[in-house]
Structure 1
Amino acid sequence: MTYQALISEEDLHCPVCFELFTNPVVLECSHSFCRTCIDNCWNGQFTRICPVCRASCLSERPPANLALRNIVENFRVRQQSNVEEPEQSSQESQERESTQSPEERCATHGKRFFFFCEDDQETLCTVCQYSKRHKDHQLIPLEEAAKELKEMVRLSLWPLKEDLMTFQTQKDECLKTTQHIKEQTRLTRDLIKKDFEQLRHFLRLEEAARISMLEDEAEMKNEIMQEKLEDLSNKIVSLSNTIQNRETDLEREDIQFLQAYKSYTDSVIYSPQDSNVLAPDSLIDVSKHVGNLKFKVWEKMLGQVQYSPIIMDPNTAAKWLKLSENLTSVHYRDLQSDIPNNPERFDLCVCVLGNETLSAGMHCWEVEVGNKTKWDLGVVKESVSRQGILNVNSESGFWALALREGGQYCASTKPWTKLYVKRKPHRIRVCLNNNNKELSFYDPFDMTHIYTFSHLPTKKLIPFFSPCVSDQGSNTEPLRIVPVKVAVTITPELAD
């Protein structure tokens, strides 16, 4: 029985009377009904529609569905033959029921779903469609609703997939940032250890030198004391012998005593007043060794310490720039792809900023430019954009002095102002007077004035450096902030 494998028992029931088809007919929409059932549905109706899909039917006399009628008749015959085998029939029925998912049937009526209510977003069986709850609702066939909604869901997946890709990209960036933080921590820890080891090495050498000075002084003065001890010991022996001899002479006869007495006047008698045991500076000069010791060591340490008035911020440096360990030098190099795209970093402009906003007052620093053929130096507004291609001019928040190939110096006005410089400077002094809102550039060799920006619109300014790109081995030198000399000034405090 092939129809058993292809058609379920439910498909052999009329969707109107829910009984096995009797004289089934087929409509243009391919749905089948008992001829009596469809006639009763259309009785008194001006428009003939399919009770299942609501499609219009033009035929007044639908044709008989002969194939379905034969299948139904065969099914009836088989049902009658299976009456003698109820247990087997019951088992087969249960097996057929088990192959149908509960989700495919109406929980209320136990019928298969045929419709979808667009108003309630629910699937309906043929009984549910006539309920008052769904009266005047928009009902469409289940297949049509599924096709339409699947397309809508399919289209809605595109923005979700784009969001997923965005989140994945952000996750990758976070992972890269986490790795960069670990690398920054490791390098910074190494630099801290290195600087403190240098300080400790200096202190160890200074400690050893001062202890050596103390021991040298102690050795010298101990030698002096040893010489005095030896001299005093000799004098004690000599004087003791003299006393003993004279006491012996006192025991002799008068003639013998008088004969010996003459030698008393020729002998030299040492007097304690002839030599002082403790001469000046005999003791250790403690005050020389420990007086203001920490200050003297700190003062001497200044020769080992460098101070830079401006420090570069590596978190703002473009990915093509490499900073020195002490953050005072920058040069162009190959792209470093492992550096994260943090918001404060320049992404296209090859430049780096100072580590802090300059406050009110006067600020000066010198930058060694050497024989570079291109560079930019100056200050930028704190709120300047750091993303994309930047317009380096005063209207965009950049106040800078620039050198371009061909030896042309320019001030970053809008448009740029070409400048004449009588001698190519190897250093540039930048002076920011925040009180007067002026920015000036000088050649520190003879303090020749190069250019001054006046009337700066804000005091929230940050130092700005750009070594520019290197091209075929040229312009490879770094920009280096020149350290300043550190001096100690002692100001006496007057008592109240």
Structure 2
Amino acid sequence: MASAPTTKKMMEEAMCSICLQLMTEAVSIDCGHSFCRQCIEDTFREKNPIESYQEKFTCPLCRKPFQRESLRPNKQLENLIESMKELECERLCEEHGEQLRLFCEDDGRLICWRCEHSPQHRGHSIELVEEAAPGFREILQIVLTDMREQENQCQSLKLATKEQTRQWKEKIVHERKKIQFEFDKLYNFLHGEEMWFLWRLEEKKEQTLRSLKDSEASLEKQSQELKSYIRELEKKCQQSAQDLLQDMRDTLGRSSAVELKVPEAVSLELQTVCNVSELYLDLKKMLKSYQVCVTLDPDTAHTDAIISENRRQVTYGGPQLNLRNSLRYLDLPWVLGCERFTSGRHYFEVDVGEDSGWDLGVCLENAPRRALMSLQPTSGFWVIRLWKGKEYVALTNPPTSLPLKEQIWVLGVFVDCEAGRVSFYNVTCTVSHIFTFPRASFSDTLRPFFGVSQGCTLFLNSQ
């Protein structure tokens, strides 16, 4: 005789997953799963008319498709179920060997009459199996109905999520086209304005050149007339007294009538002045929209770089003791910002003061810190330098001199990770572009980079 656990396992395998009872008229479908004939046919009626007409259905367990005509009786399973039913009728208590005709609701298990009188079940609610089964069958049907509703809800949510995915992709495509359209309009507008300003400039050039040419022609004509009079008078002066005085009245009259006509002054002031940054692009406002609050990372600071308590100021100072660790710069007074840039656009400003030397920009987080290296893009650094308070240099290879009209008091650093751009701006008063490094592909996280020399103090501006 099979043991109780074995019989229980066999009964679980022979149970219909739809009604949760031992199968009645067991039938199998293409995927190999079996169900009560009535249960599987009930699912046909739940489908919509189109699916029912096409006779295409999915297995309630694995969702594999099958056709209605593929249903086939599973006689072997039916015989097995009948055998198990017989075993169920003869099921005995493992402890006492008596038939399990009672059900203990407190413990949720079958017991025999001897178990009922044992201390283990004293005071428990106990019923006959035949009386307890219908109530629990109803409970299971309620649970089953709830599970089916949840499964249907899950399917609906899946469909809704798919629709959301489609809508989101469509929205992104629409937004991309909108952005491209707006920038195309801006490009076309700026190109048109450029052509208009250039045309006005050319028109002003030609107009002024014509005026200058007319003035030059007038002066040339007067010059020739004056030379003619001068030659006539010089000849007159060399004549005899009688010839000199002959027609003197007419000679003097003609001479007094000669007067230099100074052409009207031509203005060389340009009336067509185009300041794109002020007229069309509020560059400072654009940069400010990407501004981040940068603080200094004391763990990376060289011993000569003194960090303020609020971590927004670095000053060159005497060496500090007991500050060595593997993250710190060991050779020169450099320090990194705490912020890390991996994507997007970022902008920060540094008050550099005056008459000092500094290095400012960004670097790769994995750039070496324990040995001297060139601050160049090939080493992972995008930096500009003020050398001895006099010369601004972009540290390319070879370095690029930056002749500026105005001294930098406040330096702006702009990073576009996707575009691979690092740009610098003088934002002391108005915003003016200083330098942009050639496009790069950043291989690691970027961090703000600061270097100070003797007498230098750098302040990080807040938003």
Same fold (TM over 0.5): no
Quick check: which has more Rg, 1 or 2?
1
TM-score (norm 2): 0.32
TM-score (norm 1): 0.30
